[in-house]
Structure 1
Amino acid sequence: MIKADIGNNAGRIWQYLDEKGESTLADIKKDLLLKGSEARMALGWLARENKIFLYGDEDNWSVILLY
Protein backbone atom coordinates (compact mmCIF):
# COMPACT_ATOMS: atom_id res chain seq x y z
CA MET A 1 0.00 0.00 0.00
CA ILE A 2 1.34 3.39 -0.93
CA LYS A 3 1.05 6.62 0.99
CA ALA A 4 -1.58 7.99 -1.40
CA ASP A 5 -3.83 4.97 -0.75
CA ILE A 6 -3.56 5.49 3.00
CA GLY A 7 -4.42 9.17 2.58
CA ASN A 8 -7.39 8.36 0.34
CA ASN A 9 -8.72 5.83 2.87
CA ALA A 10 -8.23 8.40 5.64
CA GLY A 11 -10.37 10.83 3.64
CA ARG A 12 -13.05 8.21 3.10
CA ILE A 13 -13.12 7.42 6.83
CA TRP A 14 -13.28 11.13 7.71
CA GLN A 15 -16.29 11.59 5.38
CA TYR A 16 -17.93 8.45 6.78
CA LEU A 17 -17.56 9.68 10.37
CA ASP A 18 -18.78 13.14 9.38
CA GLU A 19 -21.97 11.58 7.99
CA LYS A 20 -22.53 8.72 10.45
CA GLY A 21 -21.03 10.05 13.67
CA GLU A 22 -19.30 7.81 16.19
CA SER A 23 -18.60 4.36 14.76
CA THR A 24 -16.75 1.18 15.58
CA LEU A 25 -13.74 -0.07 13.68
CA ALA A 26 -15.78 -3.10 12.62
CA ASP A 27 -18.51 -0.91 11.10
CA ILE A 28 -15.99 1.29 9.30
CA LYS A 29 -14.26 -1.75 7.78
CA LYS A 30 -17.57 -3.34 6.76
CA ASP A 31 -19.25 -0.23 5.35
CA LEU A 32 -16.17 1.05 3.48
CA LEU A 33 -15.00 -2.42 2.39
CA LEU A 34 -11.56 -1.96 3.95
CA LYS A 35 -9.17 -4.62 5.16
CA GLY A 36 -8.13 -4.37 8.79
CA SER A 37 -4.65 -3.12 7.92
CA GLU A 38 -6.04 -0.51 5.52
CA ALA A 39 -8.44 0.83 8.14
CA ARG A 40 -5.82 0.87 10.91
CA MET A 41 -3.26 2.72 8.76
CA ALA A 42 -5.86 5.31 7.74
CA LEU A 43 -6.98 5.74 11.35
CA GLY A 44 -3.35 6.21 12.35
CA TRP A 45 -3.08 8.96 9.75
CA LEU A 46 -6.17 10.68 11.15
CA ALA A 47 -5.02 10.22 14.74
CA ARG A 48 -1.62 11.73 13.94
CA GLU A 49 -3.41 14.79 12.55
CA ASN A 50 -5.63 14.98 15.67
CA LYS A 51 -8.75 14.45 13.55
CA ILE A 52 -10.16 11.53 15.57
CA PHE A 53 -10.40 10.15 19.08
CA LEU A 54 -10.13 6.38 19.56
CA TYR A 55 -11.24 4.50 22.65
CA GLY A 56 -11.94 0.93 23.68
CA ASP A 57 -9.75 -2.13 23.40
CA GLU A 58 -7.92 -3.29 20.29
CA ASP A 59 -10.67 -5.71 19.29
CA ASN A 60 -13.49 -3.22 19.74
CA TRP A 61 -12.35 0.33 18.98
CA SER A 62 -14.81 3.18 18.72
CA VAL A 63 -13.92 6.26 16.72
CA ILE A 64 -15.13 9.84 17.12
CA LEU A 65 -14.39 12.62 14.64
CA LEU A 66 -12.87 15.74 16.16
CA TYR A 67 -13.75 19.03 14.42
Structure 2
Amino acid sequence: MTKHQGRTTLVVMMKRLAIGLGVVTGGCVNVAAPDKPIVINLNISVTQEVVYRLDNEAKSLIKQNPGIF
Protein backbone atom coordinates (compact mmCIF):
# COMPACT_ATOMS: atom_id res chain seq x y z
CA MET A 1 0.00 0.00 0.00
CA THR A 2 1.41 3.38 -0.97
CA LYS A 3 1.40 6.51 1.14
CA HIS A 4 -1.34 8.07 -1.01
CA GLN A 5 -3.57 4.99 -0.76
CA GLY A 6 -3.21 4.97 3.03
CA ARG A 7 -4.38 8.57 3.29
CA THR A 8 -7.28 7.93 0.92
CA THR A 9 -8.35 4.91 2.97
CA LEU A 10 -8.14 6.95 6.18
CA VAL A 11 -10.26 9.74 4.67
CA VAL A 12 -12.88 7.25 3.49
CA MET A 13 -12.99 5.61 6.93
CA MET A 14 -13.38 8.99 8.67
CA LYS A 15 -16.26 9.92 6.34
CA ARG A 16 -17.98 6.61 7.03
CA LEU A 17 -17.53 7.12 10.77
CA ALA A 18 -19.00 10.63 10.57
CA ILE A 19 -22.00 9.37 8.59
CA GLY A 20 -22.49 6.50 11.05
CA LEU A 21 -22.41 8.86 14.03
CA GLY A 22 -24.88 11.14 12.28
CA VAL A 23 -27.29 8.25 11.76
CA VAL A 24 -26.93 7.04 15.36
CA THR A 25 -27.45 10.48 16.91
CA GLY A 26 -30.15 11.51 14.44
CA GLY A 27 -32.98 10.57 16.81
CA CYS A 28 -31.57 12.60 19.71
CA VAL A 29 -32.65 16.00 18.41
CA ASN A 30 -36.22 16.95 19.34
CA VAL A 31 -37.94 20.18 18.41
CA ALA A 32 -41.14 20.99 20.29
CA ALA A 33 -43.20 24.08 21.03
CA PRO A 34 -43.10 25.28 24.65
CA ASP A 35 -46.07 24.53 26.93
CA LYS A 36 -46.25 28.07 28.29
CA PRO A 37 -46.41 31.19 26.11
CA ILE A 38 -43.26 33.19 25.63
CA VAL A 39 -43.48 36.50 27.51
CA ILE A 40 -41.35 39.43 26.45
CA ASN A 41 -41.50 42.31 28.90
CA LEU A 42 -40.69 45.62 27.24
CA ASN A 43 -40.40 48.56 29.58
CA ILE A 44 -40.54 51.44 27.13
CA SER A 45 -40.95 55.06 28.03
CA VAL A 46 -42.05 57.22 25.13
CA THR A 47 -41.84 60.96 25.48
CA GLN A 48 -42.52 63.39 22.73
CA GLU A 49 -41.94 67.08 22.50
CA VAL A 50 -44.20 69.07 20.24
CA VAL A 51 -42.68 72.23 18.88
CA TYR A 52 -44.94 74.61 17.03
CA ARG A 53 -44.35 77.88 15.28
CA LEU A 54 -47.08 80.32 14.43
CA ASP A 55 -47.09 82.53 11.42
CA ASN A 56 -47.18 86.23 12.28
CA GLU A 57 -50.62 86.52 10.71
CA ALA A 58 -51.89 83.63 12.85
CA LYS A 59 -50.44 85.24 15.98
CA SER A 60 -52.22 88.50 15.31
CA LEU A 61 -55.47 86.65 14.54
CA ILE A 62 -55.29 84.84 17.90
CA LYS A 63 -54.58 88.10 19.72
CA GLN A 64 -57.58 89.73 18.05
CA ASN A 65 -59.89 86.79 18.86
CA PRO A 66 -58.75 85.31 22.18
CA GLY A 67 -61.95 83.26 22.60
CA ILE A 68 -61.45 81.40 19.33
CA PHE A 69 -59.64 78.55 21.06
TM-score relative to the length of structure 2: 0.30
* Greater length-normalized contact order (CA 8 Å, ≥ 6 residues apart): 1
Q: Say which structure is richer in strand.
A: 1
Max Rg structure: 2
